[in-house]
Structure 1
């Protein structure tokens, strides 16, 4: 790969994305048929949108999925009434979350959600030409070369927020250092989620890197339908309940094995499995001979497993189950899922050994005595058993973890101020009736071409 020039790689990506456009259209329709896209909104994925651009300064923020979206909700609060925000995401789960949270936080007047265009040059250009954002913000590690290149061409300042650089990604970028410099060099500001991420980003050529902290520490608690919680809580009252959340393929058999180990000792035991991808629900239900929520089936009356294959209800499950295992961590390569979500709701949590994408979070919780690490079905069953047998220990574990994550309370406000500094001052000072034809992004920090 070192023998291929950076410009050739960038050009190759652009050509490949253009040639793949027909296949991407077909794939979008297939995803919609599986419930992973919304048919009526597929044009947005090609940059087609009849919705008019809001008047005044417009900040484009992109968060790939639910975790990234949750982390920036406090930032959206801090931006309220100061600029309009075009918030794009790439999943129906994040859209469902925002449909609930935007009205709940009274952000409807300031935040507009759309689905992000796929990284096809003409689709990206159509999107940017229509919305004409004054600045753009990408959350964590969402770096699409044609999007970034088009922003640079249009003079739109870029910021990377809560930036992360995993071991795996860092290894990849180190093999193409020139490409890394061109991609990361296009950002006017980079806020890393931790010191390790900041050092890696600097090593790869990112300018203006700082490490103010992880926005996920300041994220709000996951939402819940209170009436549904009250209903299910009454049904499950008195039963031993634990949750395996955000699970991935090959983890569920281990979770089922842990349940079988525990069931003889805990009459009426309920194990809730909430797969990371809810569309796996029917397959899991068949494999484990378990009822599933989206089929209208409630929890088994006696001991058993219940498949919680719904979208946007993780806050419900974490509230119903005081003991939680956080998935994508038992089977390599893993990577983990966000352990702060259950901690914020007081759960006693366990994770597997493969949590590389959340190493800082796990280290913090470990140091605070707020997390247990398990290696297999047997140790998972042992964790659940100890939590069921020792309610005081379970509460202490949850309290220690919750105390550890109550930090960086002012980080969302500071992040909002940095984002606002990227917007042209004349736009912020002018009225909503300003002339929208002026070019966006007057204070861009120039860089060479962007690619991935």
Structure 2
């Protein structure tokens, strides 16, 4: 039976039945919401039907569905897909995401050898009819949810159809665990639906086990096993030529409230390094023009306008998508954004893999384990504010030995997680049918 005809996962749970009813009632209004998001660039107007579960094109043979909400989750899935593809040559992959940016970067960074085996769709909205249409069309042999995407209709609908479910790279904050704990029966239904649960840390695993994922174990973070960010050679050569021998401070993936502090640090540091170039790469590139207005007192250039930094450029706003690999390669030191403000920080290992010395603000809760390890090993420096940022950047930009020791220590930490994708792939394979019985889907 279909998940619509026999919603066993919902039976006996009033909150889940209420969610199912509410999402069904809201369905007629969702096209208006999607159209509004499309006008703001947050949806692909040509592919809105995928959000209704339409557009299935199931390939022959075994099919693994992987879902990651946004950029970080979908990018961390790439080494996992590579490991599974090498182990199971007949396996095909469906990757769903919830954001336009994630879809674009997946297409750009997917290895060419895998392009014919991986299809992308936008995830269906968590409406029973949309979910049923999606599952009926694709009939995945197993499904992997990445990090913390818990959608009741999607999870219980797949489980009702017999699709084996895995939750990998799972993380659960104290606040989220407390929230789920207020509805323990609901949590047990949802987290207990996963046959395989692999958490990032033991703390995450403990929280998940308390909520019903009894087999949860901690293996580490897939983001730590990602491949180095790419950069086009011709683009890199052009940027290096424009910069010349100037010292470069990069502020990568910045958030509102950080850029003014970075500009202040530039002003302090430029007194000691007059030819300093500071590059600011906002986490959301569409903020570039607003940043240009906010920092109008500096000689500034915008990458989105096609400009390269000239000899007089003080601050270069790299408001383009998917170019951090380029920027880390030209920087002499990098502040990892989201850490000067209470956001929790972005992934410092992206810089570590490209040999760029790392500076971290006080807020690194999103990457506590790896940040603490880097700081303890001398692979990164902690900075509290703009003055400390200027001082630390000067230390790294003028101290060749210090920069070298930092990058060496960071590279060792980044290499430690290299075997995780293969280990995780082997666990996921246990959910798939044997090669002799693959291809029909569990529907």
Q: With structure 2 as the length reference, what TM-score do the two structures score?
A: 0.91
* Residues in 2 aligned to 1:344 and 1:418: alpha-carbon distance in whole angstroms: 26
Cross-structure match for 1:73: 78
Cross-structure match for 2:425: 416
* Residues in 2 aligned to 1:28 and 1:301: alpha-carbon distance in whole angstroms: 45
Residue 284 of structure 1 aligns to a residue in which SS?
helix
Cross-structure match for 1:445: none
Q: How does 1:92-111 map to 2 (within 5 A)?
A: 92-102=100-110, 104-111=111-118
Segment drifting more, 181-190 vs 11-20: 11-20
On the 8 A contact 2:126/2:152 being kept in 1, the answer is yes
Cross-structure match for 2:4: none
| Residue 343 of structure 1: how far off its partner (Å) | 0.9
On the 8 A contact 1:88/1:116 being kept in 2, the answer is yes
Alignment counterpart, residue 120 of structure 1, candidates 100, 117, 127: 127
* Residues in 2 aligned to 1:230 and 1:52: alpha-carbon distance in whole angstroms: 41
- Is 1:38–2:47 an aligned residue pair? no
Residue 291 of structure 1 aligns to a residue in which SS?
strand
* Residues in 1 aligned to 2:112 and 2:374: alpha-carbon distance in whole angstroms: 29
Alignment counterpart, residue 227 of structure 2, candidates 205, 220, 227: 220
| Residue 58 of structure 1: how far off its partner (Å) | 0.8
Structure 2 portions without partners, runs of 5+: 1-10
Alignment counterpart, residue 406 of structure 1, candidates 399, 411, 415: 415
On the 8 A contact 2:230/2:325 being kept in 1, the answer is yes
* Residues in 1 aligned to 2:13 and 2:286: alpha-carbon distance in whole angstroms: 39
| Residue 195 of structure 1: how far off its partner (Å) | 1.8
Alignment counterpart, residue 27 of structure 2, candidates 21, 26, 31: 21
- Is 1:90–2:98 an aligned residue pair? yes
Cross-structure match for 1:174: 181
* Distance of aligned partners of 1:362 and 1:263 in 2 relative to their CA distance in 1, 3 Å threshold: same
Alignment counterpart, residue 297 of structure 1, candidates 307, 320, 325: 307
* Residues in 2 aligned to 1:267 and 1:188: alpha-carbon distance in whole angstroms: 59
On the 8 A contact 2:79/2:225 being kept in 1, the answer is yes
Cross-structure match for 1:350: 359
Cross-structure match for 1:199: 206
User: What does the per-residue CA deviation read over 1:24-66, in whole Å, with 9 as the maximum and x for residues that have no partner?
Assistant: 32333233333332221222122121x5210111110011222
| Residue 229 of structure 1: how far off its partner (Å) | 0.5
Alignment counterpart, residue 267 of structure 1, candidates 274, 278, 281: 274
User: What does the per-residue CA deviation read over 1:243-289, in whole Å, with 9 as the maximum and x for residues that have no partner?
Assistant: 11111111111111111222222223211111111121221122212
* Residues in 2 aligned to 1:122 and 1:24: alpha-carbon distance in whole angstroms: 13
* Residues in 2 aligned to 1:409 and 1:114: alpha-carbon distance in whole angstroms: 28
User: What does the per-residue CA deviation read over 1:70-94, in whole Å, with 9 as the maximum and x for residues that have no partner?
Assistant: 2221111122224111011122222
* Distance of aligned partners of 1:6 and 1:247 in 2 relative to their CA distance in 1, 3 Å threshold: farther
| Residue 169 of structure 1: how far off its partner (Å) | 2.1
| Residue 211 of structure 1: how far off its partner (Å) | 1.7
Q: How does 1:363-374 map to 2 (within 5 A)?
A: 363-374=372-383
Q: With structure 1 as the length reference, what TM-score do the two structures score?
A: 0.89
* Distance of aligned partners of 1:369 and 1:126 in 2 relative to their CA distance in 1, 3 Å threshold: same
- Is 1:47–2:53 an aligned residue pair? yes
* Residues in 2 aligned to 1:42 and 1:300: alpha-carbon distance in whole angstroms: 42
| Residue 179 of structure 1: how far off its partner (Å) | 2.6
* Distance of aligned partners of 1:27 and 1:250 in 2 relative to their CA distance in 1, 3 Å threshold: farther
Q: How does 1:116-265 map to 2 (within 5 A)?
A: 116-265=123-272
| Residue 105 of structure 1: how far off its partner (Å) | 4.3
After superposition, the CA RMSD in angstroms is 2.0
* Distance of aligned partners of 1:209 and 1:297 in 2 relative to their CA distance in 1, 3 Å threshold: same
Cross-structure match for 1:311: 321
User: What does the per-residue CA deviation read over 1:347-403, in whole Å, with 9 as the maximum and x for residues that have no partner?
Assistant: 111122222121111122122211111221121122112112212211211111111
On the 8 A contact 1:163/1:197 being kept in 2, the answer is yes
Cross-structure match for 1:449: none
Cross-structure match for 1:448: none
User: What does the per-residue CA deviation read over 1:195-222, in whole Å, with 9 as the maximum and x for residues that have no partner?
Assistant: 2221222222212112222222221001
* Residues in 1 aligned to 2:25 and 2:290: alpha-carbon distance in whole angstroms: 34
On the 8 A contact 1:322/1:346 being kept in 2, the answer is no
User: What does the per-residue CA deviation read over 1:384-423, in whole Å, with 9 as the maximum and x for residues that have no partner?
Assistant: 1211221221121111111112113322112112212112
User: What does the per-residue CA deviation read over 1:427-450, in whole Å, with 9 as the maximum and x for residues that have no partner?
Assistant: x2147xx6x4x644xxxxxxxxxx
How many pairs does the alignment contain? 427
